[in-house]
């Protein structure tokens, strides 16, 4: 069952209680030996050991950022992890499902800007993966606090960068998408079915080595596929 939480109504105690119920139900049990989350095969080549380390913050920017955000969460979701979507107004849940996200373990929240930071803080630690799409510029202090909370609680933060400066702090990994061409048009007619995209990743610490991959995002079947090997 897809969980939806209040958006425009006043963020009162009743709303807080509903959020806590979902958070308690989805709270992950993390063993010391399980400090990473799985990735679908095409994206595994971009990350050390082919997995997402718990506690990191990943920024995704460029055309197709929402699709790539779902793809980052797909394998973990299919394996039992819960995913929170906070403020992702353009979320196409059918696309998420095609990529492998288990919608019965997805919670969708649309808090007002005034309550955005408090909502994100509440779900960090309760969900394995938190996908954000800030509709406003997040303050540096809020960004630092949320990233520190994610590191402490073991959640992966995925920030969809709608504007260049939506997230003011340096993240652990940044994936930048550039669309090279669309597929599906033939002889001047047809339907656009998929786009060939280049993804460049930069980061810090163990993610410091720049990586690049080319992907069909998504392919004709709705999945993410490698176009060329990572390099």
DSSP state of 208: -
Q: Which domains does the chain have, with CATH numbers?
A: 3-175 (3.40.50.300)
164 Cβ contact list (under 8 Å, min separation 6): 61
Predicted local confidence at residue 184, as pLDDT: 60
Mean pLDDT, to the nearest integer, of 13-40? 64
For residue 163, the Cα-to-chain-centroid distance in whole angstroms is 16
Query: In the chain, what percentage of residues exceed pLDDT 90?
Result: 59
Average pLDDT of the chain to the nearest whole number: 83
The whole-angstrom separation of Cα 88 and Cα 84 is: 10
pLDDT in tens, 135-163: 888 999 999 999 999 999 999 999 999 88
137 Cβ contact list (under 8 Å, min separation 6): 163, 165, 166, 168
């Amino acid at each position: 069952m897809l969980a939806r939480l209040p958006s425009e109504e006043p963020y009162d105690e009743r709303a807080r209680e509903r959020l806590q119920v979902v958070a308690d139900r989805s709270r992950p049990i993390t063993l010391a030996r399980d400090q990473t989350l799985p990735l679908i095969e095409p994206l595994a080549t971009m990350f050390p050991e082919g997995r997402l380390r718990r506690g990191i913050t990943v920024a995704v920017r460029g055309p197709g950022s929402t699709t790539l955000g779902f793809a980052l969460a797909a394998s973990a979701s299919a394996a039992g992890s819960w995913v929170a979507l906070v403020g992702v107004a353009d979320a196409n849940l059918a696309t998420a499902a095609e990529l492998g996200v288990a919608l019965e373990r997805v919670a969708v929240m649309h808090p007002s800007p005034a309550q955005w930071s408090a909502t994100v803080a509440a779900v960090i630690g309760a969900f394995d993966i938190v996908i954000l799409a800030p509709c406003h510029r997040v303050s540096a202090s809020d960004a630092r606090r949320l990233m520190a909370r994610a590191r402490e609680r073991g959640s992966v933060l995925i920030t969809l960068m709608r504007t260049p400066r939506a997230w003011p702090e340096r993240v652990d990994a940044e994936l930048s998408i550039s669309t090279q061409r669309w597929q599906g048009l033939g002889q001047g007619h047809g339907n656009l079915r998929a786009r060939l995209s280049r993804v460049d990743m930069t980061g810090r610490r163990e993610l410091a080595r720049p990586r690049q991959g080319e992907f069909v995002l998504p392919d004709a079947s709705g999945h993410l596929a490698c176009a060329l090997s990572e390099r």
